[in-house]
Each structure stands twice: as C-alpha cells, then as structure tokens.
A and B are shown apart, each in its own frame.
Chain A
C-alpha cells in the first residue's frame, strides 16, 4: 500500500514540475503588467520539443547523445530521495541530503561535457561558467546544510526541518540556501532563462546545440531539479509536514500544505526575479560570498542556540 502511495506521489511530482515554472513565468509577467503565456505553457513546450525533429552536430560524440538520459536519470533519482508528503520513505536508505547534492552534480557534469562536445564556443562558454558558478555554490550549500544539521543531528532530509519551531539559525541557513537555489535553477541575478544573448546565458548556452526530443528530456530534468530544490527549501523553511498516517484526510491536508509551500516559494522566486537585474559574471563571487557569510552566521547562531 505504502509503496503504491510513494510511487503515485513520485509520478504526481514529475507531472507537477513544469507547472511550477509556468507559475513563476505567469507571476513575472503579471507583475510587469503583461498578460503572459498560459500557466501550462511549459507542458506545450515539452510536447512541441518531443514531436519535433532533432539535429545533432557532426562534431558531437556519444557523450552528447547520452547526456539527456544521464541528466534525467540523475535528477529523477535525486527527486526520489527527497521527502514530499509521505513520511518514512524507504528511499532514505539509499541516500540523504548530501547524497542528493552529489547526484545532482552527476547531471551537471554531463551537461557541461555536452556543452564542450559540439565544438562551438557558446557551449564551451556555458560549461565553463556553469562549473564556475556551481563550484562556488557548493561551499555555500554545504555550510547551510551543516548549520541545519546541528540541531536535529541528522542529514536525513525528512528530519532536517524545523523541529523546534522557528529559529534564527534556520532562517540564516534558509537564506543561504535560497541564494544557492537561485543559482542552481539558473535564475536572475545569476543566470537568465529568458534570453539567448551570449553575454548573459549560462545554462542555455550549454544546451544550445540540443533540439527535439533530447531537448525535451533536458528541459524536463531542469523543471524537476527546480521542484526538488523548492521541496528541500520548503522542508527547511516551514514546519516539517510529512504525513505519518496513510489515511485519506491527513494525506489530503499535507498534500495541500505541500502545494502551498511550493507555490509560495515559487512566488518569492518570481518576485525576486523581477526586482533584480542580471549580475556581471564576476560579481557572482560577491553574491556567493554573501551566501557563505549567511551559512557562517547560521552556524554561529546554532552554536549560540538561537
């Protein structure tokens, strides 16, 4: 019974993921006084990519062909380990918070290789910048997780939440992690998903050579990764809300609360995106410096017990 529930939860998450992006785009457009595309536009995009023909560069090797599969597989695996609604997922035996970060790195590694594979300088530029940014994001994420870990004493993401109410340490850590998430989901001010200008694109530059069904897989992986990060942030920012009971009413209540969490975070991300301009690449260091300071503050707060 529980296995079925967990699998259906997983499938629902996969289906939900593109909607989050559509929601953010809608919020951004409405705040700019535009009508904007439909909330379901990401689904239409995916369908379009899925049925379109594909062009592969002459210079590309099997790495380029394999990358969409590896990226999607890594993201799905990581998503499977993250807590959503149902508690005590047996998947925790496979890995915890740190393992999720490691697994996501696998997908990124292949994306960066694929960027170099076609021999275009766009791809190389994208790979170089993506690896630069992600290597700066890693210590910031690690410090935030460390500070969060100090209170419950576990890196199991299900238990790594606000167990004893709102604490200063959690707020600092969540802020640091939020900054990491902005970078990881390639949003402003680090990256810009809406542009294909060579000066500003990072993630888009890496996948510039992709088209057709391969692109559909990569885009889906990007949506899933975004949802995964929002889930992890929600787990920290809001009281731990996994449901230990399999009854209909507790499940329905926690599901609703889960959706509310995700969309509140998505709303915040959308608002932040329209308030901030894109940063120059080398100011990213200051940005992550700030995120690291947040992490250190979180640890100090945790030591002081506040």
Chain B
C-alpha cells in the first residue's frame, strides 16, 4: 500500500511543474514527506515526517499570501492540524507507556496486553487525530477553506493524497498495530463515515465555488472510504474473515480511485480558474466550446466520482454496497437494519453526488457563457491537458481492469488485517469479479463497457442510416419571446434550490434581498443572495472558541504585566516543586 499511495502521489507530482521554483521545491518536499509518512517504521520518525507534511502543506496553502482568504484558510488549517497531531502524540505516548518501544512491530506484538480501557482511549485519540487530517465530520472544518486556496495542482495532491495518509494512519495504527477486538469501534467509524458522506455531499450541492465544491466532495469520499474501513473493523471483530478483507478492499479501492478522479477534477477546475480568473460557477458557462479538452476530462472525472459505469468510482462504490449487503446477510438483528440503512445512506450519497456533478459540469461547461471572461476563455496549455489526460486514462483503466487491481489490494488488505487470503478468490477470471462463495453475484465492468459500446454503435447506426432527415440548427425555444441569452439560463443556485429546501432542517438557508431604487416606482437594480448557515461552525466551533477566549480572559487577570509579580510566580513554582519533590 505505501508504494501504491506513493506512486499515485508521485505521478501526479510529475504533472504540475508549471509554477515557479519555490513552489516546485515546496511541492516536491511535500511529496517526499507524504512518501516518508507511509514508509515510516517507528512512531518517532512517523511523527516527524507527519509534522513536516503538515507544515509544508501549510506553506503551500498560504502560498498566495496576498489574498486575505489564503491567510485565514491557512490559520484554520494549522490550528486544526495541530490539534490532530496533539491527539496522535498522546496516543503514541500511551502506546509507548505500555510497550516501551517506538517501533511499530514491537508495539504490535505487545498491544494485546494493553488493558481494554487504555485501548479504547488510544483508539479514540487516534481517530480524532487522524480524523482531523482526513476531514471526518465534524473535524472537516479546515478542509473546504484550505484546499481551494492552494494552487490547483497542490489542491489535487492535498485532496488526492495527503488526506489519504490519514486513512493510512487509521489502517496502520488501529487495524494493524492496535488490532480490533471490540465491535463498537467499527460501528463508531461507520456512523461517522455515514455522517461525513451525507454532510459533505449536501454542502457540496450548496456550493458554487468550483474548488470548494470539490473540497466538500473530499469530505464525502473520505466518508465512503471509511465505510469500507469501518465495516472491515466491524466484521473483523465478528470474526467474518472474508468480509473483513472484502470491505477493506472496497475501502482501499475507493481510496485509490478518489486520488485519481479528484486529482483530475482539481486539475480541471484549475485550468478553468486559469482561463477565466474566477472560481464562481455563476460566471462560467459554455466552456465546452472554448476548452473542449478540459471539458472532456472534467466530464470523465465527474462521471467517475458519481459512480457511473464503467469507470473506476462505479467499481468501488459497488464493492462497498456489496460489503454492506453481505454484512447484512451474515449478521443478525439490529445490525442487519443498521447495515441496511448504511447501504441506503451510501445510495443516497451516490444520487446526491450525481446531482452535484450534473450541476458542476452543466453550469460550468454547458449552455451559454455567463460572463465576458467565460466568453474569451482559452484552452489550457498542452502540459496541463497532458496531465489531465494521464489521469483520465487511469480513470478508465482502474474501471476496466478491476480484477488485477483487486488481487493486489487483497494482498494489502490481508496484510493489514493479518488474515490469510490464500483460499479466498475474488474473481472468476481476468474480467469477471465474483462474490462466490459469499453470494451468487458477478460484475464485469469490461463486459458492461462492451455492451454500452455495442448498443451505442447500434443507436448511432440507427440514427445515421435509413435516409436521415434534415437536421437544422436554430436558436433555443424561447416561447415566442425575444432571443434568449445567458441571463435566462438556469444557475447553480437555481439548480440546487430543491435540495436547499429539502435539507432546510439542516442547512438553515436564509436570503438577503436588496432593491436599489431611483424613485418609489422605479427599481433600478435588485440583488438577491442566498446563504446557508454553517451549522458546525456556528454551533460547535464558535462556542468552543468563545470558551477558549473566556478562559484566556480569566487567565489574563493573573498576568498584569508586572515583572515583580512574575518573579514571584517563578519563586512560588520553584518552592512548590521543591516541596513536591521532597514529599515523594
């Protein structure tokens, strides 16, 4: 697995040599640090490179420091990531306390001897620590700020690879080193994953900043990956060995897929940003004509992330759904219902993601341009197209060549869970996935692609043969009024209106309208804005922050700024320490 993550990260690093030297150096070090994270063999080295990775990515986020937003984003990011690191350090110290070693293998061999409450505590600490980096709801707060602010190829790496190192951390430290022995760990992760999926995709639907939308989709996809990981932990604790391996394969498969298509989408969004100088979707439109390559690749990425066959996202989402189904078959009572609801949540997420990407692609690339910049957009340079092209090829390959990939992932999953996978087969032959003996179901993305091609060719033939009638081009149907222009088009905000109303119990949308009048009868212009209330920020972080400031205020009372008093404090401290030492 390290090599897999590394290769994905490395390949993507190759594409992005289009910015200035410093950025290249930082970006390169960032890739190296991410690679180092997954190759670390003991906790001390792991922490050092983990921190290095966090700091480098902080510098990359703040790279465009002349923008106010970048600075804010970077601040939120650095605070959140350090809270996460603090929890990881605490977990590592607890592990050291009971094993006396920093080496992974030693801790692993001694971890079963740890008392259960301590194991639970370590689990929670690791989950919070890595969850912050991965962007699990409600720790996702930094993600939609930081990812869009970094240069696009860095965003693609942060979203594609960096948050995956956190998943690596969860698999490495919780599944491999700590070892799962109670069921509620998996259930907790599953529940958090379901919430992350839904919250991520709902916020993404509301967003009309293209890169922020993609960042929220990272939250959603991390959720999908964690569905696989969480199920694996749950099934492992239930001693369902085949399913534990199978679910982990599904999670890992989605992890790689997400790295590929999210990288592709961020690069596509980056070239759109470069061409028209804004990330606001309401000012885009019609780009498919001026930027055909970018549009084509973005469409491919959008289809993959929506889980449409025969691309890669489809295979991993199908595997995750099947893991839910098979888990439901082999569990009993309430767990069946829980897993059924989990599967439904995943299906819901898939449907919403498809809606979101219809919006993202349709508003950005289709119809008429909504601004002058969009009208004059130029196609991205060859190097950027090439970079997207390579990722696009990977999207197709990872969809069609599912069988060999699953075989490789099975080795990884078997290693991580220490389950012998020799007698497990996941395929019928090189093209057909098989769930036997768990159930009689098969899937072959290759055959589906073949069917689509054959029938598509048939449809094309039926269309063009048989003396084709006249085809003419004319303006869009305008109900007999004037000629339609881009102001009549559906907007991103309009597209997501049904969703905004449907989820109003969670989003608390509000609107601001303002009329600018010349006189009472004549309204000169009218502005209309809709906003959604950021629930987590308002009800979780702001009270927390308020509490911090309040305590800081209390603390200030004992810090009046007088040097004499401070010397007195030092004296008191030393005195009490001496008394304390003397007593023990």
**Residues of chain A having any CB pair with chain B under 8 Å:** 50-63, 68-70, 72-74, 76-77, 80, 91-96, 98-99, 102-103, 105-106, 108-109, 112-113, 115-125, 127-129, 131-132, 134-143, 146-147, 149-150, 153-156, 159, 208-209, 212-214, 217, 281-282, 285, 292, 295-296, 299-300, 302-303
List of B residues within 8 angstroms of A54 by Cβ: 469-472
Asked whether, in the complex, the Cβ of B308 is within 8 Å of the Cβ of A106, the reply is: yes
Asked whether, in the complex, the Cβ of A127 is within 8 Å of the Cβ of B362, the reply is: yes
Q: Which residue of A lies closest to B503 (CB)?
A: A285
How far, in angstroms, from A24 to B437 measured CA to CA in the complex?
42
Asked whether, in the complex, the Cβ of A153 is within 8 Å of the Cβ of B439, the reply is: yes
How far, in angstroms, from A134 to B498 measured CA to CA in the complex?
12
Asked whether, in the complex, the Cβ of B452 is within 8 Å of the Cβ of A51, the reply is: no
List of B residues within 8 angstroms of A121 by Cβ: 488-490
Q: A128-B495, A138-B347 are in contact. Are A61 and B288 (CB under 8 A)?
A: yes
Asked whether, in the complex, the Cβ of A56 is within 8 Å of the Cβ of B502, the reply is: no
Is B549 engaged at the interface, CB distance under 8 Å to the other chain? no
Asked whether, in the complex, the Cβ of B348 is within 8 Å of the Cβ of A96, the reply is: no
Q: Which chain B residues in 363-381 approach chain A with CB under 8 Å?
A: 363, 365-368
Asked whether, in the complex, the Cβ of A139 is within 8 Å of the Cβ of B451, the reply is: no
Asked whether, in the complex, the Cβ of B355 is within 8 Å of the Cβ of A135, the reply is: yes
Asked whether, in the complex, the Cβ of A68 is within 8 Å of the Cβ of B463, the reply is: yes
How far, in angstroms, from A171 to B494 measured CA to CA in the complex?
39
Asked whether, in the complex, the Cβ of B494 is within 8 Å of the Cβ of A72, the reply is: no
Asked whether, in the complex, the Cβ of A92 is within 8 Å of the Cβ of B442, the reply is: yes
Residue of B367, B441, B463 near A155 (CB, 8 A) is: B441
Count residues on chain B whose CB falls below 8 Å from chain A CBs.
91
List of B residues within 8 angstroms of A143 by Cβ: 340-341, 343-344
List of B residues within 8 angstroms of A63 by Cβ: 288, 299, 366
Q: A54-B469, A72-B455, A105-B306 are in contact. Are A138 and B358 (CB under 8 A)?
A: no
Asked whether, in the complex, the Cβ of B469 is within 8 Å of the Cβ of A120, the reply is: no
How far, in angstroms, from A92 to B447 measured CA to CA in the complex?
10
How far, in angstroms, from A121 to B439 measured CA to CA in the complex?
47
List of B residues within 8 angstroms of A292 by Cβ: 344
Residue of A120, A134, A150 near B351 (CB, 8 A) is: A134
What 1/0 mask marks residues of chain B from 233 to 274 whose CB sits below 8 Å from any chain A CB? Answer: 000000000000000000000000000000000000000000
Measured CB to CB, the closest approach of chain B to A50, in angstroms, equals 8
How far, in angstroms, from A119 to B475 measured CA to CA in the complex?
10
How far, in angstroms, from A73 to B484 measured CA to CA in the complex?
32
How far, in angstroms, from A226 to B96 measured CA to CA in the complex?
62
Asked whether, in the complex, the Cβ of A217 is within 8 Å of the Cβ of B473, the reply is: no
Measured CB to CB, the closest approach of chain A to B387, in angstroms, equals 23
How far, in angstroms, from A235 to B60 measured CA to CA in the complex?
56
How far, in angstroms, from A233 to B309 measured CA to CA in the complex?
23
Asked whether, in the complex, the Cβ of A77 is within 8 Å of the Cβ of B459, the reply is: no
Residue of B314, B321, B365, B494 near A124 (CB, 8 A) is: B494
Asked whether, in the complex, the Cβ of A95 is within 8 Å of the Cβ of B443, the reply is: yes
How far, in angstroms, from A253 to B490 measured CA to CA in the complex?
52
How far, in angstroms, from A97 to B498 measured CA to CA in the complex?
29
List of B residues within 8 angstroms of A295 by Cβ: 340, 344
Q: Which residue of B lies closest to A212 (CB)?
A: B469
Asked whether, in the complex, the Cβ of B362 is within 8 Å of the Cβ of A58, the reply is: no
Measured CB to CB, the closest approach of chain A to B126, in angstroms, equals 31
Residue of A61, A123, A209 near B289 (CB, 8 A) is: A61
List of B residues within 8 angstroms of A128 by Cβ: 359, 490, 494-498
Is B188 engaged at the interface, CB distance under 8 Å to the other chain? no
Residue of B307, B350, B366, B471 near A56 (CB, 8 A) is: B471
List of B residues within 8 angstroms of A154 by Cβ: 439-441
List of B residues within 8 angstroms of A52 by Cβ: 469
Residue of B337, B362, B456, B460 near A112 (CB, 8 A) is: B362
How far, in angstroms, from A128 to B341 measured CA to CA in the complex?
26
Q: Identify the interface centre among B340, B348, B462: most chain A CB within 10 Å of its CB.
A: B340
Given A109-B303, A120-B476, 19 new contacts (CB under 8 A):
A51-B469, A53-B470, A57-B476, A57-B477, A58-B475, A77-B451, A77-B455, A94-B447, A105-B308, A119-B488, A121-B489, A131-B359, A142-B321, A146-B325, A146-B343, A146-B344, A147-B340, A155-B322, A299-B340
